[in-house]
Structure 1
Amino acid sequence: MSVLLETSLGDIVIDLDVQNCPRTCENFLKLCKVYYYNLNAFFNVSKDFLAQAGDPTASGTGGESIWSLIASRTSNSRKARVPRYFVPEILPKLKHRNKGTVSMAVAPGVEGGERGGCGSQFFITLADNIEYLDGKHAAFAHVVEGLDTLDMMNEVYVDQEGRPFKDIRIRHVVILDDPFPDPPDLHVIQPPSSPTRPPDNSTRIAEDEDALATLPEEEEEEIRRQKAAQASALTLEMVGDLPFANVRPPENVLFVCKLNPVTRDEDLELIFSRFGTIMSCQVIRDKKTGDSLQYAFIEFDKREEAEQAYFKMQNVLVDDRRIWARAHGEIARSPSHGGRPAGGFAGREDLEATQKYRMSGGDSQRGGYGMVFDLKITFTKRKRASGQGPPRS
């Protein structure tokens, strides 16, 4: 009577001793039949000792016998009468003499509570003559094919608790021969043909993941830029320069960075005014020291003017510094801009527009968003542009 375990390291064929351990073999075979072991991880691997599996939670405390599992799926009354474990079949003549011996792990009893016994957890020995396990755990089978898989399992890297850093999982179980009739109320639920998520939601290296794989240089650079932009936005939020990290300005606002610290508002306004009417221009400064943070926001009257400024002023020298501009909207993602990086506020493409900072009055009628800073000059210049404010002197 045999079972094939298809693991992430290779196949293992187990031959069961149904004559000497009928109840243990029946429990193991029926758990295999209901796909209980599919995607289970070998959560405890000790070099030259054993590899343990059979716990769906991969914690070492889970698992139950097939009879307890059936009762839990039928009625609460039957579940109360069926214990979690069954009495282990520990025979003196069945020893852990050879590598590849398969045993059911015997759980200790809890004082004043449930008695111990065998559930679903099992282990496979990875060396010969492990006499320490004799008489303590129920040997019931041995590996007849796949000893090379056990050798690979014996060499994996594990943490201080014995859990492999890279998951070793039972991908599928095939029953080659089963002499036992199915217990009553045994329902076989066919699992997905290609399971994608392990039952314990492991955060370790996946069994099909290459830990040494590298991305192309372009993709790695793009990921680094995105992470740097996210960190910068979060820093600006923490110091109070942004109301929140995911804010973005309206489409008629140009974000300019890498400025020379000596560049003033008037300088930028004079340089960028050739592209259209500027509603506001402000170099962002430290609230305490007043020093330039080397980036600014320039609000144009029209979106088209901001587009033109973006294309013309990208990487242009201003006060001996090559500035970098960002414009929100489709222009920065359009292929017509000569392959420049995609736009967005502060280089972020994943930011969502928010109505939270919409201006009141005339600006709300235009449907734009307010600036991320609070400026009196913004309203003054808007009034001048609309003819409501006093003329410039």
Structure 2
Amino acid sequence: MAVLLETSKGDVVVDLLVDEAPLACKNFLKLCKIKYYNNCLFHNVQKDFILQTGDPSGTGRGGTSLNGVLYGEQARYFADEISKERTHAKVGTVAMASAGKDLNASQFYVTAGASLDSLDGKHTIFGEVTEGLDAVARINEAFCDDTGRPWQNIRIRHTVVLDDPFEDPPGLGAHVPEGSPALARDEGDDRLEDDWAPAEEERPPEEAEKSARKAEAESRAVVLEMIGDMPDAGAKAEENIIFVCKLNPVTSEEDLEIIFSRFGKITSCDVIKDWKTGESLCYAFVGFETKAQAEQAYFKMDNVLIDDRRIHVDFYHSMYHQWRSRKKAGGAPPPPPQAPPRPGDRGGGGGPSPRRQRSRSPARREDGARDHHRHEGRRRHRHRHRRRGNGHGEERRRATRWED
């Protein structure tokens, strides 16, 4: 006698103890037969203790027995079948979650820990898990709120009666549905189902790919803003500016203004130059008043010959002008740090090379000061000795003169 519970964490097979708890086993089997447990939540998950379910309302205060389904509210509960020989000694013990003495209805629990002596003699044990202890372990690891309800809904999806030794009571057939009842979520239930997945599979592949690319571009923009490569994650290239490259080095900004002015008023024209030599880098940015003027210049001027060079025109994709406007407003990022010039390097303007400063530990600084004082004492001693030696030589020279 067994029942298969298909949960959102895996399948669980429960073997029933029909000889020791016939009332509880019959109640459980017939409720499974009429799909009473389908879509029931595991509304109370106490880690390493119990996993409680069997309440269609999901609150822990609902549920009724088989007699309550057949005969009404007055027959909601049935009596306990507590055996002293059966204990909560191992993981996977299945018992009725009664509200008190002889108050068993539909709720039951599965133990997620061993040696739960505090439950012995209080609840009717009617089965044990023989297959699917890994699913029990996964439910046990669910993240829950303070009341023990998982943050993601874990449900019994379906129940399958594998073996039923009890005859159906009169009137039970009227309660057996033709198919599995559909999931009806409460309006106030804002938690995701445990098997929830993004609805990308329901969307067309092109739309899903477009959404993924947009999300990736937004995340990259945030990274570029963090490292200082973009002024703002939401910044976009100006649509009224075009990029012109492959210029002749002799082509000036005035020349480009005259050439491109036939498409509209020029708002900006910048030929990018080398910051050291001031020579043209052969590309420029030309701005117009409107996007339409920039598009017209793009279509008309690409591959046109200017100063013996065929130029290439493209749309503007740079943040150059945004950075320039921020710099004028005082909001430009600080320049990147530069490594100090090496000793003897004359490329930094011909000035003296900075000496490398070494940091010393306190012990090394103390030893250096002691050596300095010792050296200074020796120098003074030698200086006094020379002065004393010079005086003796002077007296000898004077004595020699008098003798002569």
TM-score after normalising by structure 2: 0.49
Aligned residue type for 1:108: G
Deviation at 1:188, TM superposition (A): 3.6
Note the 1:79-228 alignment, pairs <5 A. 82-108=74-100, 117-186=103-172, 187-190=174-177, 192-193=179-180, 196-198=182-184, 200=186, 202-210=189-197, 216=208, 218-219=210-211
Residue 4 of structure 2 is matched in structure 1 by 4
Give how far 1:19 is off: 0.4
Q: What is the match of residue 47 of structure 1?
A: 47
Residue 179 of structure 1 aligns to which amino acid in structure 2? P
- Deviations along 1:91-125, one digit per CA (max 9) or x if unpaired, are 1111111100000011137xxxxxx5100000000
Q: Distance between the aligned counterparts of 1:36 and 1:118, measured in 2?
A: 15
- CA deviation after TM superposition for structure 1 residue 154, in Å: 1.2
In structure 1, the residue matched to 2:359 is none
Structure 1 CA distance, aligned partners of 2:106 and 2:186? 16
Measure, in 1, the Cα distance between the counterparts of 2:135 and 2:27: 24
Name segments (4+ residues, structure 1) moved above 6 Å: 211-215, 220-223
Let me know the Cα RMSD of the aligned residues. 3.3
Q: Which has the higher helix share?
A: 2
Rounded to whole Å, the distance in 2 between the matches of 1:181 and 1:151 is 34
Structure 1 stretch 44-53 or stretch 205-214: which is displaced more?
205-214
Q: Distance in 1 between matches of 2:164 and 2:139?
A: 27
Give the structure 1 partner of residue 274 of structure 2.
none
What is residue 13 of structure 1 aligned with on the other side? 13
Q: Residues 48 and 127 of structure 1 are in contact (CA less than 8 Å); yes or no, is this contact kept in structure 2?
A: yes
Amino acid at match of 1:178: D
Residues 5-58 of structure 1 deviation map (CA, whole Å, 9 limit, x = unaligned):
011111100000000101111111111111100111111111100100000000
- State the match for 2:282 in structure 1: none
What's the CA shift string for 1:174-206, capped at 9, x where partnerless?
11111111111112432545x552454532111
Larger deviation, residues 184-193 vs 210-219? 210-219
8 A Cα contact 2:91 2:113, kept in partner: yes
Ranges in structure 2 where 5+ consecutive residues have no aligned partner: 202-206, 216-288, 294-404
Shift of 1:221: 9.6
Aligned length: 218
TM-score, normalized by length of structure 1?
0.50
**1:315 and 1:67, CA in 2 relative to 1: closer, same or farther beyond 3 A?**
farther
Q: Return 202-211 or 31-40, whichever deviates more.
A: 202-211
What is the alpha-carbon distance in structure 2 between the residues aligned to residue 191 and residue 58 of structure 1? 24
1:49-105 C-alpha deviation (Å, 9 max, x unpaired): 010000000000000110011113xxxxxx5xx331111111111111110000001
CA distance in 2, matches of 1:212, 1:133: 43
Distance 2:87 2:99 in 1: 18
Offset of residue 165 of structure 1: 1.0
Residue deviations 1:328-375 (CA, integer Å, cap 9, x gap):
xxxxxxxxxxxxxxxxxxxxxxxxxxxxxxxxxxxxxxxxxxxxxxxx
Which structure has the bigger radius of gyration?
Answer: 2
SS at match of 1:107: coil
How do 1:304-319 residues align onto structure 2 when only pairs under 5 Å count? none
Percent identical pairs in the alignment equals 44
> For 1:4 and 1:179, how far apart are their aligned partners in 2?
16
Structure 1 residue runs without a partner (length 5+): 73-78, 110-115, 224-312, 318-393
